[in-house]
Amino acid sequence: MAKLSDPITLLKGVGPARAKQFANLNIFTLRDLICHFPRGYEDRTRLVPIEKLAVDEPACFRAMVMNTPRTSHIRKGLDITKVQVADHTARLTLTFFNNRFAAEQLQYGAEYIFYGAVSGDFIGYNMTNPVFEPLDSRPVTTRRVLPIYPLTAGLSNAAVLKAVSQALAICDPPAEILPEPVRQRYGILPAERAYTAIHAPASMAEAELAKKRLVFEEFFVFSAGLSLMRAARAEKRTEAYPNLDMRPFYGVLPFTLTQAQKRAVEDILLDFGKGVPMNRLVQGDVGSGKTMVAAAAIYCAAGNHKQSALMAPTEILAEQHYESLRKLLAPLGIPVALLTGSQTAKQKRTVREQIGSGEVQVVVGTHALLTEDTQFQDLGLVVADEQHRFGVGQRSKLSAKGESPHLLVMSATPIPRTLALLMYGDLDVSILDELPPGREAVDTFLVGESYRPRINAFIRKQVSEGHQCFVVCPAVEENEELGLKAATVWAETLQKTVFPDLRIALLHGQMKGAEKEAAMASFARGEADVMVATTVIEVGVDVPNATLMVIEDADRFGLSQLHQLRGRVGRGKAKSYCILTSHNRNPETLQRLKALCKTTDGFKIAEEDLKLRGPGDFFGSRQSGLPAFRVADLSFDLATLKEAQAASAEWIDTYGTSDAPEAAALRERIGELFQRAEGTMN
Ligand code: ADP
Ligand code: MG
Residue 562 is which amino acid? L
CA dist., res. 131 & res. 140, Å (int): 12
pLDDT given for residue 308 in this prediction: 95
Helix (H) or strand (E) holding 40: strand 40-43
Asked whether the predicted pLDDT for residue 228 surpasses 80, the reply is: no
Does the CB atom of residue 328 touch ligand 1 within 6 A?
Answer: no
3 state SS of 219: helix
241 alpha carbon – ligand 2 mean position (Å): 26
What does pLDDT average to over the chain? Answer: 86
Asked whether the predicted pLDDT for residue 400 surpasses 70, the reply is: no
pLDDT given for residue 219 in this prediction: 87
Question: What percentage of the chain has pLDDT greater than the value 90?
Answer: 52
Which of 265, 413, 542, 600 for mutating ligand 1's site (highest number of atoms within 8 Å of CB)? Answer: 542
291 alpha carbon – ligand 2 mean position (Å): 6
480 alpha carbon – ligand 2 mean position (Å): 35
386 alpha carbon – ligand 2 mean position (Å): 7
Write down the pTM of the prediction.
0.67
Count CB neighbours of 200 within 10 A.
Answer: 20
- Name which residue sits closest to atom 16 of ligand 1, judged by CA: 289
Least confident residue range of 388-392, 393-397, 598-602? 388-392
Contacts of 460 (CB under 8 A, 6+ apart): 499, 502
Own/partner pairs for 259-264, CB < 8 Å, 24+ apart? 259/434, 260/284, 260/288, 260/431, 260/432, 260/433, 260/434, 261/288, 261/289, 261/292, 261/293, 261/432, 261/434, 263/430, 264/293, 264/430, 264/431, 264/432
Q: Which residue has the higher pLDDT, 479 or 546?
A: 546
Q: Which residue has the higher pLDDT, 618 or 313?
A: 313
* CA 672 from centre of chain: 19
pLDDT given for residue 373 in this prediction: 82
Q: Looking at the CA of residue 544, tell me the nearest atom of ligand 1.
A: 14
pLDDT given for residue 679 in this prediction: 42
CA dihedral (97, 98, 102, 105) positive or negative: positive
Does the CB atom of residue 444 touch ligand 1 within 6 A?
Answer: no
Taking only the tens place, the pLDDT of each residue in 28-53 is 999 999 999 999 999 999 999 999 99
First to last CA, the chain: 36
CA dist., res. 191 & res. 135, Å (int): 31
pLDDT given for residue 440 in this prediction: 80
Q: Which residue has the higher pLDDT, 168 or 557?
A: 168
- Name which residue sits closest to atom 20 of ligand 1, judged by CA: 289
Taking only the tens place, the pLDDT of each residue in 15-32 is 999 999 999 998 999 999
- 515 within 8 A of 540, measured Cβ to Cβ: no
Taking only the tens place, the pLDDT of each residue in 142-154 is 999 999 999 999 9
CA-CA distances (angstroms) from residue 289 to 75, 174, 228, 558, 570? Answer: 73, 48, 32, 23, 13
Question: Across residues 123-141, what is the average pLDDT?
Answer: 86
